[in-house]
A and B are shown apart, each in its own frame.
Chain A
Amino acid sequence: MQDIAEQVLALASRSATWAEVYAAREEETPVSFKANRLHSIETREARGLALRVVVEGRIGFASSSQLDEPELLVRDALATARFGPASALAYPTQQVQDPGLGLYDQRIADLSADTMVQIGQQMIDRVRAHGEDILCDADVRKSTGTVLLLNSSGGQGTYCQTVVWLGLNANRVRGTDILDIWEEDASCHLAAIDAEGVVRTVLEKLDLAEEIAPIRTASLPVIFTPKGVYMTLLAPLQAALNGKLVLQGASPLAGRLGERVFDPGFSVFDDGRVPGQPTSAPMDGEGVPTRRTALVQEGSVSAFYYDLQTAGLAGTESTGNGQRGLTSLPSPATHALRIVPGTASYEAMLSDISEGLLVDQTMGAWAGNVLGGQFSGNVHLGFRIEKGRLVGRVKDTMVAGNVFEALAHLAGIGDRAHWVGGRAEIPYLYIPSLAVSAR
């Protein structure tokens, strides 16, 4: 890959003011179980080259999975530069070294399909022992990837990453009532994967979901689990802190840097350097070293996240958030959002509520006006709280609100943060009043 990347860079540099080659290769093995049984084993190899050029101040872009046609790739990129956007890029010049993030585990690379099958089957057997009428889907997936970046201003970097990911879904159908509970875990290290924890959580929730409890349409106190926060509240927050949306004024947080918008106990970081996390990398997709960026500190907006082009247009610096796939230009995206834990124990939050709702899974909350901070989702898995206790699962229920209003006054922030699927680290959040609608 290095050879062809260098060849493309040399060829492009003949006609372009600046050129950047991003090359990636990945091999992925998904093992999937459906309805309690092994369903398929796959191998997916993928590779490709993406070329970004600046010609007469304009950006061109092309990508290809074909490694034997460097001329075609260069020609495509140069051709699009004729109509491309004006460049505001600060050209990276750094050779990025891996600061010891521990992203590669030979045990994952060596993991056999047989072992992956065993891991999945053991999870399913544990859940099945709990009830004959439960159907489990499970995924055990590993990937090994290499990323290489070279540009004509001397910037470069490369890293390898292994990821193992587990997902478990328990389904129970009774009459027209369908219950789905899912949990997941991911890591760059095999030893850090907690299959047992995934199973335990699913079993606990299956027990809790036995009883169905009514809920009324009202403004009620609501506790979101870390997964509930991730599925319901995180996307609007992520969008509002995106430097590109801020630059366009499309974020409700635009122009409010330094302003206290959230609860004084609420702080959020984006962190591209958590050791062993699948979201971590020494550099972003354009060769800028990743970092830990405080986005919200004690309720005040302290930074937005940027890629190079957006930062250039906004007159600031990239925060190392230029994320990309192979087939498009980099764009600002978070690595892992980490909401800082507070002081409330889960038990204390629960016991504070005489009538309310615990939300663990929502559906479609992302589908509304995310930019405006609105969320309105079906409570896919949620429990009625009565006198400080969970008394049963609610059905035909929606929660709705505005993220900025909901997070402005929190009645509690959990004292522990939990990783959700290896993508974000979040504590329980207790919102004193939210619109709950029931049939």
Chain B
Amino acid sequence: MALEGKHGMRDLLQDALRGHRADYVEIRIEEAETTAIRFRGRELEEVGRSRSLGGNVRALVRGGWGFASFNDVRDLRRYVEMAVHQARLVPREPVTLAPAPVVEDVVRASARKDVRGISVDDKVALLKEYNELLWASAPLQTTAARYNDLFRRSIFANSEGTYTEQEVLDLSAVLVAVARKDSEVEQAFLSVGSQGDLSVLDGRQAEVEAVARRAVELLSASRIKGGSYTVIVDPRLAGVFVHEAFGHLSEADHVYENPRLRELMVLGRRFGGPPLNIVDGAAVPGHRGSYAYDSEGMPAQRTYLIREGVLVGRLHSRETAGRMGEPPSANARSISYRFPPIVRMTNTYIEPGDTTFEQMLASIDDGVYVKDSFGGQTSMEMFTFSAAEAFRIRRGRLEEPLRGVNLSGNVFQTLANIEAIGNDLQWSEGGGCGKGEQAPLPVAMGSPHLLIRDVVIGGG
């Protein structure tokens, strides 16, 4: 890569940071290489490689931010001036950024079966093998298989003296089975991800076969009447729930700007029963949201958001932590050099409790078991997410499969309605998170099974 061995880059950055007349300036230069492979049906649809080199400058003047991003990394001083000029146009009350340690560090990425060491044709062959397995496992209408990997090197310097070089590896893959009967179409999928470790795709045969069969079975699944139900939520869907419904609400940029929300999300408020613990942190190692430093050069942390049912923390950038007088949490992330860092989740999870799945099931006379999710969305108090798979529960037993199950609710009520927390924490690494224009950002979500009362299901 072009940045490799360019020892002069550090001097360039530090030169550009001199004499800027701003309260704070940071510069990031990033270089990335990606590989994308797509199958649609049995056919290979795309194999592509992309390279990018670009950077950004962010400047703070009396509480207002300016930001410039660019591909031409030779003229850094010009972009520093641009960002400082813009920051001057933004009148805000001054802010003291939450203190960050001055760091000099180089972080190399590595993975067990490193995507950088595997040839494109081996990756194509692997994806093809799974795609063919979908076809061999059930009578499908079509399939899709997508694979993306990324290697990025970021150089970061700020006017406080921090200088870091950080490498990031990322991999995501999804396999989709589509079944059709007349004008009805159903789909099922498997989504996996890792920090550039291709072995995440090893030994997935049984799951892939199950995906193919599930798509076909959904065609004859029942529909449920809309209404309020007791549900058991599997770890994958519960992960989406904790991310969508609660995680976004914990992002301090939302909370800070909205005084009423600040009252709602006041630290110390009870959100759930004593067994409920929710954590976010890039310092939780080995997941897609793990890193050493966030996009502001802050060392990664692990933050309790809810401890024993009580709100005890939230996700911060240096600015929001400074403005709210709370401890910083190293959650400022940008999806690439094109965008400024904003407050984001990393690895978000509900800690395990002590209830077994069997105990949950036995306690329900009439309810629904919902598994995995096609996706979810939130708008502050309201969340919604779709189940990829669902079963009716009657008299403590799983009965007929359901389709078209979409859950919705109010986060405050729903967290309070968690009746039991499973003992079986599992992580999901697939997909990604979107906020504003910045998507998909690699994140991980984790949860054990949850039993929740009174969840609204939109029937179909």
Contacts and interface: CB of A to CB of B under 8 A. Distances in A.
Interface of A: 34-35, 37-48, 59-66, 72-73, 76-77, 79-80, 82-86, 113-114, 117, 133, 135, 171, 173-174, 176-178, 180, 217, 244, 248-252, 256, 326-329, 363-364, 366-369, 371-374, 376-378, 380, 396, 398-402, 404, 435-439
| Central interface residue in A38, A61, A65, A256, by most chain B CB within 10 Å | A65
A173 B379 CA distance: 12
Nearest to B257: A35
Contacts of B408: 364, 378, 396, 398
B71 A249 contact: no
Contacts of B49: 61-63, 76-77, 79-80
A59 B185 CA distance: 30
B40 A363 contact: no
Contact of B340 (A40, A80, A400): A40
A252 B124 CA distance: 29
Contact of A61 (B48, B178, B339): B48
B50 A62 contact: yes
Q: Sort A-B residue pairs by CB-CB distance and give the 9 closest, nearest first.
A: A437-B226, A398-B458, A173-B260, A364-B384, A376-B406, A367-B375, A35-B257, A248-B142, A61-B48
A246 B41 CA distance: 12
21 contacts: A34-B257, A38-B92, A39-B92, A42-B340, A43-B82, A45-B70, A60-B47, A77-B49, A135-B260, A217-B226, A252-B184, A327-B48, A364-B384, A369-B186, A369-B386, A369-B403, A371-B178, A372-B185, A396-B408, A402-B460, A437-B458
A251 B52 contact: no
A256 B182 CA distance: 11
B184 to A, nearest CB: 6
A398 B384 contact: yes
A400 B406 contact: yes
Given A178-B380, A372-B184, A372-B185, A248 B460 contact: no
A81 to B, nearest CB: 8
Contacts of B253: 34
Given A85-B45, A402-B460, A364 B406 contact: yes
A374 B90 contact: no
A374 B338 CA distance: 35
A378 B71 CA distance: 41
Contacts of B264: 173, 176
Interface in B334-351: 338-340
Nearest to A44: B69
Interface in B312-371: 338-340
Interface in B44-65: 44-54, 64-65
B162 interface: no
B185 A328 contact: no
Given A40-B90, A42-B67, A363-B377, A135 B257 contact: yes
A151 to B, nearest CB: 17
B374 A369 contact: yes
A259 B168 CA distance: 51
Given A113-B89, A180-B380, A42 B66 contact: yes
Contacts of B178: 248, 250, 371
Contacts of A217: 226-227
Contacts of B180: 249-250, 252
Contacts of A402: 460
Contacts of A368: 374, 386, 404, 406, 460
Contacts of A72: 51
B71 A377 contact: no
Interface string B108-146: 000000000000110010000000000000000110000
B456 interface: yes
Contacts of A371: 178, 185-187
A46 B410 CA distance: 40
Contacts of B422: none
Residue among A82, A327, A398, A399 with max Cβ neighbours from chain B (10 Å): A398
